Amino acid sequence: MVSFSYNLPNAGTQPKHILSSSDISYGRLCQILDLAQAMKRQRLENPQPIAQVENRMLAMLFEKQSLRTRITFETAMHELGGHAIYLTKSDIDMGQRESVYDVAKNLSQWSAMIVARLNSHATLCQLAEHASVPVINALTDMEHPCQALADVLTITEKFGDDALKVAWIGDGNNVANSFAVMASKLGHNVVICTPPGYEAASYVYSEPNVEHCYDPKAAAEDADVVYTDVWVSMGQESEEQERIERFAKYQVNDAVMALTKPNAIFLHCLPAKRGFEVVDSVIDGPKSLVFEQANNRLYAQKALMHLLLENRIA
Ligand code: CP
Ligand code: NVA
């Protein structure tokens, strides 16, 4: 068994919930990134389970579809020495079959942590309020902080600690909110570029070095990182036609990437709608790190869960 240990005080008796990027301080973010990179090296060199979380269970509540988040959380928990139980909306129908309060109280009896992908961020907050184990946001309508951890891990692996210009081009959605807040914590200059009416949440713009613009060319100019996501998120299917029209000028294509720095990278949380927010030649091109970004979900979440299970995140 491999063991990672830290010379850090325990965080106290209250469960620490990770509901948004704002719940991770700069110091803890650095700690997660360091541990994630150590775990990545360890998995390549010595693929053994990690001690200390044997036989502990991760409850995974998913009201929406997932490929990356489900697989990386389940794999991370398994590789930490525990196991995960995956429950869909049709399994528990939280709020209908049983109240959020009762689900939180029940899951807290058996599980070491709860990972939840819920339609509503308010429901996630309610779940966390009543859970006596840590609750981790696996995506809501408002935030996707675990994605943001993998995003900044990918950026840090490529550029080290340099302060960068990072451009979000597209919808000011859940992924944009979490990414902008997380990137700002590391001192990057974040430009969020959306059509009018599709800006990120207002709290995002109160973070240091986060700006908005409506011109994708200005956003891409001399950028080190260009990041986009789908124009139609899960749950917004009825707005599809209108969104395709409103976002047409915000596609990340070769002309946009030509404005970036020579060493720039392209990121996308995936799944992608190729031909809409991004073209094949960009997502499959030499600047694209999208699959390494997806790979890094495993290490970022493994590090986060390990620290939470050891009660090291204050
Ligand atoms: N990026 C991401 O969260 O992917 P999934 O929806 O497949 O989990
Ligand atoms: N913004 C997208 C992200 C999917 C990972 C959605 O919410 O559907």
The string of pLDDT tens digits covering residues 162-195 is 999 999 999 999 999 999 999 999 999 999 999 9
Strand duo 189-193 + 113-117: pairing: unpaired
Q: What span, in angstroms and rounded, lies between the C-alpha atoms of 172 and 180? A: 10
Q: What span, in angstroms and rounded, lies between the C-alpha atoms of 47 and 270? A: 27
**What's the pLDDT score for residue 24?**
95
Q: Is the CB of 257 under 6 A from ligand 1?
A: no
Tell me the two tokens of residue 178.
């979490």
At 312, the pLDDT band (50, 70, 90 cuts) reads low
| Bridge partner list, 236 | none
Q: Which of 125, 146, 193, 269 is catalytic?
A: 269
Q: Say how many C-beta atoms besides its own lie within 10 A of residue 27's C-beta.
A: 12
Task: Please state whether 270 falls in left (phi above 0), alpha (psi between -120 and 50) or beta.
Answer: left
**What's the pLDDT score for residue 6?**
45
Work out whether the CA dihedral 251, 253, 256, 257 comes out positive or negative.
positive
**In which residue are the tokens 């990041």 written?**
227
Across residues 246-272, what is the average pLDDT? 98
Across residues 127-144, what is the average pLDDT? 97
Q: Which amino acid type is present at position 314?
A: A
Q: Is the CB of 147 under 6 A from ligand 1?
A: yes
Q: How far is the CA of 140 from the centre of ligand 2 (A)?
A: 9
Q: What span, in angstroms and rounded, lies between the C-alpha atoms of 307 and 16? A: 10
Q: Which of 17, 68, 268, 297 is catalytic?
A: 297
Average pLDDT, the chain: 93
Q: Which CATH superfamily is domain 146-294 in?
A: Aspartate/ornithine carbamoyltransferase (3.40.50.1370)
Q: Which of 141, 151, 171, 229 is catalytic?
A: 229
Annotation says 147 is catalytic: yes
Q: Is the CB of 296 under 6 A from ligand 1?
A: no
Q: What span, in angstroms and rounded, lies between the C-alpha atoms of 289 and 115? A: 26
At 12, the pLDDT band (50, 70, 90 cuts) reads low
**What's the pLDDT score for residue 7?**
42
**What's the pLDDT score for residue 13?**
61
Return the DSSP state at 49.
P
Pocket test for ligand 1, best of 68, 136, 227, 290 (most atoms within 8 A of CB): 68
Q: Which atom of ligand 1 is nearest to the CA of 65?
A: 6
The pLDDT > 90 percentage for the chain reads 88
What's the chain's Rg over C-alpha atoms? 19
Across residues 55-71, what is the average pLDDT? 96
At 3, the pLDDT band (50, 70, 90 cuts) reads low
Tell me how many helices (H) and strands (E) the chain has: 12, 9
**In which residue are the tokens 């001192």 written?**
187
pLDDT tens digits for 182-235?
A: 999 999 999 999 999 999 999 999 999 999 999 999 999 999 999 999 999 999
Q: What span, in angstroms and rounded, lies between the C-alpha atoms of 202 and 79? A: 38
Q: How far is the CA of 128 from the centre of ligand 1 (A)?
A: 21
Q: Which of 17, 56, 68, 117 is catalytic?
A: 117
SS3 143: coil
CA atoms within 13 A on the CB side of 31: 18
Determine which residue's CA is closest to atom 3 belonging to ligand 1. 69
Q: How far is the CA of 270 from the centre of ligand 1 (A)?
A: 6
Q: Which amino acid type is present at position 262?
A: P
Across residues 92-103, what is the average pLDDT? 96
List the domain boundaries for the chain. 21-143+296-309, 146-294
Residues 6+ apart with CB under 8 A from 272: 230, 278, 283, 290
Q: Is the CB of 272 under 6 A from ligand 1?
A: no
**What's the pLDDT score for residue 46?**
73
pLDDT tens digits for 290-300?
A: 999 999 999 99
pTM here?
0.94
Sheet holding 83-88, edge to edge: 83-88, 57-62, 113-117, 135-137
Q: Is the CB of 230 under 6 A from ligand 2?
A: yes
**What's the pLDDT score for residue 174?**
98
CATH class of domain segment(s) 21-143+296-309:
alpha beta
Q: What span, in angstroms and rounded, lies between the C-alpha atoms of 81 and 51? A: 6
Contacts 24+ apart (CB under 8 A), 83-89: 83/55, 83/56, 83/57, 83/58, 84/57, 84/58, 84/59, 84/60, 84/115, 85/57, 85/58, 85/59, 85/60, 85/111, 86/60, 86/62, 87/59, 87/60, 87/61, 87/62, 88/62, 88/63, 89/62, 89/63
